[in-house]
Amino acid sequence: MRKYVSIGVIVLLSALIVRNGSFFDVKLRTSSLLGAVLGIDFENTKELRQRIETLEKENERLKAELLEKSNETISSIKVYSSYPFNSRSEIAIASGAEDSISQGDTVVYSGTVLVGRVKSVFESSSIVTTIFDPSWEMAVRIGTSEADALLKGGNELKIFLIPQDATIEEGDTVISADRNLPYGLELGYISKIENTEGDVFKEAVLEPALKLRNLRDVTIYR
Amino acid sequence: MLQFIVSSFLVLIASLFQTTSLFLIGGVKPNLALVFIVAISNFEKTWVRRVILVLLAALILTFAPFATWIDIIFISATLFAVALLDYLPWQRIVNGIVVVSAATIILNLPGLNFGIIVLELIMNIILVSVFTLLLGIFYGTKKAQKKNRF
């Protein structure tokens, strides 16, 4: 009798663990740990990663669609040229006042990646200040903890004023949180954290999602 | 005249490339127009032609429908570099390196970022040396042949 009760309890406990998902988490962590130690990927992890990648792509697409719906957009504007000297980072785009573009409009690439803001508008072209311009400054949020910080442009994008107690790590995504720009535009990910003991704030280096060299078409949000 | 047409074409191509982001290295692009004008001015001694080359480059590099202060700085810095070239006593490459360095620093004064200036200086110096050598082979050989005929 005791034997059947024990088996029953074990089956019940197993069902509870599996239902709660704890077992699945433990299994994933263990296989991931083993994979990291042995340098191999387990089949189920691969499948899960693929699923995550698919879902992330779908999420990006939906976010882009949502942004387009919540803002008036002008899509597929060609990039003419970039500022020829290194003192500024600006691009000229093939759309201007005749397409109702105005100063301060947000310029994005690939739906969600922030390029910059319209600086000056001419009849059929406009000048856009990019996030790489030395004068660029904007409020951002980092990672899942959504730590507030300040992004400064330049040759190397740096994030300042990150609170010491903010839990951020390398690889965390950085999004826009500036009142002059749509919320949640992608900027890149943290590639390096600079933490000096005794400082009130942390600093970080941003690996940008935008590559100016590959920029051909942009979208404008108003 | 053929040498001037080729030089104009080279300056035109270099200036067009400078308005793209194709040559961005570490977020910094070399000043191809300046490099070509200095390298060509080592062989092109006629001032009218030199000025035409500088204005041609400035016209292509203009980033707005009207001339801005950076265009004026570019024209002044490049003309200064070309003029300085005639007064320096060293070899063509050394003269080129000196004047390109001076003009690069002048052109970067508005931004004044040490890292960018150093990186651009390195790129410009390498390019001006290479192009002066290459132009020396093409333009120099042609001049030598002319001398032999007479």
Task: Give the per-residue pLDDT at B121.
Answer: 92
A94 in reach of chain B (CB within 8 A): no
Q: Check B116 against A155: CB less than 8 A apart.
A: yes
Contacts of A113 (CB under 8 A, 6+ apart): A185, A186, A187, A209, A210
Of B19, B29, B74, the CB nearest to A86: B29
Contacts of A66 (CB under 8 A, 6+ apart): none
Residue that wins the pLDDT comparison between B65 and A34: B65
Residue that wins the pLDDT comparison between A29 and A206: A206
Domains of chain B, residue spans: 2-142
Comparing CA positions, the residue from B29, B50, B106, B37 lying closest to residue B74 is: B106
Per-residue pLDDT tens digits for A153-168: 888 889 998 888 888 8
| Band of residue B27 on the pLDDT scale cut at 50, 70, 90 | confident
Mean pLDDT rounded to a whole number for chain A: 80
Of B15, B19, B21, the CB nearest to A212: B21
Q: Check A84 against B24: CB less than 8 A apart.
A: no
Q: Check A87 against B115: CB less than 8 A apart.
A: no
**Distance of residue A160 Cα from the nearest chain B Cα, in angstroms:** 19
- What is the rounded average pLDDT of the residues B112-118? 81
Please give the Cα distance from A41 to A31 (Å, whole number): 8
Best probe of the A interface among B12, B13, B17, B20, by most A CBs < 10 A, is: B20
Please give the Cα distance from B129 to B26 (Å, whole number): 21
Where is average pLDDT lowest: A59-73, A86-100, B35-49? A59-73
Task: Give the per-residue pLDDT at A88.
Answer: 81
A216 in reach of chain B (CB within 8 A): no
Where is average pLDDT lowest: A145-149, A168-172, A198-202? A198-202
The full set of domains in chain A, from first to last, is 2-66 (no CATH), 73-131+213-221 (2.40.10.340), 137-211 (2.40.10.350)
Q: Check B70 against A87: CB less than 8 A apart.
A: yes
Does residue B92 carry a pLDDT above 90?
no
| Band of residue B112 on the pLDDT scale cut at 50, 70, 90 | low
- Whether pTM exceeds 0.80: no
Best probe of the B interface among A78, A80, A85, by most B CBs < 10 A, is: A85
Most confident of A2-11, A73-82, B2-11, B94-103: B94-103
**Distance of residue A114 Cα from the nearest chain B Cα, in angstroms:** 17
Neighbours of B34 (CB within 10 A): 30
Where is average pLDDT lowest: A19-23, A180-184, B108-112? A19-23
Q: Check B113 against A155: CB less than 8 A apart.
A: yes
Residues in B touching A98 (Cβ below 8 Å): none
Task: Give the per-residue pLDDT at B148.
Answer: 46
Residue A44, amino acid: N
Name all contacts of A129-133 with Cβ < 8 Å and 24+ positions apart. Answer: A129/A88, A129/A89, A129/A90, A130/A89, A130/A90, A130/A91, A130/A210, A130/A212, A131/A89, A131/A157, A131/A187, A131/A208, A131/A210, A132/A89, A132/A157, A132/A208, A132/A212, A132/B27, A133/A88, A133/A89, A133/A90
Task: Give the per-residue pLDDT at B143.
Answer: 45
Does residue A136 carry a pLDDT above 80?
yes
